């Protein structure tokens, strides 16, 4: 994981760019703010999945066929499609871009039953902006959190592609009875709740492909395998905290990168910080 920051200040212009890399998924992350900069026409060999935070930009290489992306919109540019980029806002444009290998993007789209091309036309999806910002911040400021547990990438895709599915009214997965393969997969997660169980490992245990496992598991139990695993670890963390273990020790015992990594997920699920669960704080209101 690496990070590069470039900032240029002119008389009335401030432009910046930050770069991060998620090695276990092969995903590059760019967080940029451009005012006067214009990208030359180019193409990537990956998908470019973007979200505009402030302002607006034109992403097309041709002046005769502009494609404008406004704040709060998410979009995708397929591999090998020529495009450019420039701000069309008086106050510049701030945006996030993920460069995702084709196989990785298609896998995540298959898991969530969304067409890989669902975002080729920019779509207003304000609920997806926060996951973009959070994921980019982790990749650049706290990369050890992403490398410690590959589920961060899966949870990001769940949030964004789930919003795509909800918006596009894609065909929902059919109700699936929790057959033995899925019960075995769930039991495996319980047996190894103290460590990261990869989707490949879990799919092998269930004798299913990764995408089929994720679809069937989510339909049967209401949570994706990664989220189910996360909740298991957080329940274990709560039990250890109630037993008197310190938050930092609990984070290490349950496979989180550090106390802040545990705290972020703990509060999202339980509504309080790990410190609030400490026995000496149990009578307090949070």
User: Which structural domain, as residue segments, surrounds residue 107?
Assistant: 3-168
Three-state secondary structure call for residue 195 = coil
Q: What percent of the chain has pLDDT over 90?
A: 40
Co-location of 56 and 95 in the same domain: yes
Specify the residue for token string 């920019």. 122
pLDDT score, position 143:
73
pLDDT score, position 277:
82
The CA radius of gyration of the chain, in Å to the nearest whole number, is 21
The domain boundary, picked from 168, 202, 218, lies at 168
Cα 110 to Cα 27, 121, 168, 210, 224: the distances in Å are 18, 19, 15, 10, 13
Tally the domains of the chain.
Answer: 2
Co-location of 24 and 129 in the same domain: yes
Co-location of 224 and 249 in the same domain: yes
Phi-psi region of 277 (alpha: psi -120 to 50; beta: other; left: phi over 0): alpha
Confidence (pTM): 0.77
Cα 103 to Cα 59, 174, 188, 275: the distances in Å are 23, 25, 27, 41
CA–CA distance, 194 with 213 (Å, rounded to integer): 21
Instruction: Name the more confident of 144 and 135.
Output: 135
Q: What is the pLDDT of residues 11-34, one digit of tens each?
A: 455 788 888 888 878 899 999 998
Q: Which of 86-95, 113-122, 192-201, 274-283 is predicted with the least confidence, judged by mean pLDDT?
A: 274-283
Q: What is the pLDDT of residues 203-242, one digit of tens each?
A: 999 999 999 999 999 888 888 999 999 999 999 999 999 8
CA torsion through residues 221, 225, 227, 229, sign? positive
CA–CA distance, 99 with 50 (Å, rounded to integer): 9
Task: Tell me the pLDDT of the chain averaged across its residues.
Answer: 83
pLDDT at 193 over 90: no
Specify the residue for token string 């769930």. 186
pLDDT score, position 42:
83
pLDDT at 202 over 70: yes
Co-location of 150 and 47 in the same domain: yes
Specify the residue for token string 């496992």. 213
The helix (H) or strand (E) run that includes residue 14 is strand 14-22
Co-location of 34 and 154 in the same domain: yes
pLDDT at 4 over 50: no
pLDDT score, position 285:
39
Co-location of 153 and 223 in the same domain: no
CA–CA distance, 285 with 143 (Å, rounded to integer): 33
The helix (H) or strand (E) run that includes residue 151 is helix 151-168
**Domain assignment present for 286:** no
Co-location of 264 and 230 in the same domain: yes
CA–CA distance, 92 with 261 (Å, rounded to integer): 33
Mean of pLDDT values over 77-93: 88
Co-location of 108 and 160 in the same domain: yes
Please, what's the b/e burial string for 120-148 (b: 16 or more CB within 10 A of its CB; e: otherwise)? eebbebeebbebbeebbbbbbebbebbeb
Mean of pLDDT values over 163-177: 58
Co-location of 158 and 23 in the same domain: yes
CATH number of the domain within which 79 lies: 2.60.120.10
The domain boundary, picked from 133, 168, 203, lies at 168
pLDDT score, position 151:
82
Co-location of 145 and 250 in the same domain: no
pLDDT at 101 over 50: yes
pLDDT at 282 over 60: no
pLDDT at 257 over 50: yes
CATH number of the domain within which 247 lies: 1.10.10.60
Three-state secondary structure call for residue 223 = coil
């Amino acid at each position: 994981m690496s990070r590069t920051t470039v900032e240029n200040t002119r008389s009335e212009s401030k432009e910046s760019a930050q770069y991060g890399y998620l090695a276990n998924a092969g995903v590059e992350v760019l967080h940029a703010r451009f005012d006067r900069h214009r990208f030359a026409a180019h193409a990537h060999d990956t998908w470019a999945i973007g979200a505009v935070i402030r302002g607006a930009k034109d992403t097309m290489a041709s002046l005769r066929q502009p494609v404008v992306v406004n704040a709060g919109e998410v979009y995708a540019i397929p591999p090998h499609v020529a495009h450019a980029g420039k701000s069309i806002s008086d106050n510049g444009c701030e945006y996030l871009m993920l460069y995702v290998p084709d196989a990785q993007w298609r896998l995540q789209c298959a898991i969530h039953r969304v067409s890989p091309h669902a975002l080729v036309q920019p779509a207003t999806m304000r609920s997806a902006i926060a996951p973009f910002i959070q994921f980019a911040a982790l990749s650049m400021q706290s990369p050890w959190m992403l490398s410690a547990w590959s589920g961060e990438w899966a949870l990001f895709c769940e949030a964004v592609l789930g919003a795509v599915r909800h918006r596009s009214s894609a065909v929902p997965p059919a109700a699936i009875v929790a057959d033995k393969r899925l019960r075995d997969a769930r039991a495996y997660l319980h047996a190894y709740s103290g460590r990261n169980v990869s989707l490949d490992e879990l799919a092998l245990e269930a004798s299913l492909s990764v995408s089929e496992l994720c679809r069937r598991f989510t339909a049967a139990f209401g949570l994706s395998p990664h989220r189910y695993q996360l909740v298991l670890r957080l329940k274990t963390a709560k039990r250890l905290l109630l037993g008197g273990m310190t938050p930092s020790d609990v984070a290490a015992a349950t496979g989180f990168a550090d106390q802040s990594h545990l705290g972020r997920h703990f509060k999202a699920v339980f509504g309080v910080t790990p410190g609030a669960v400490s026995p000496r704080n149990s009578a307090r209101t949070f």
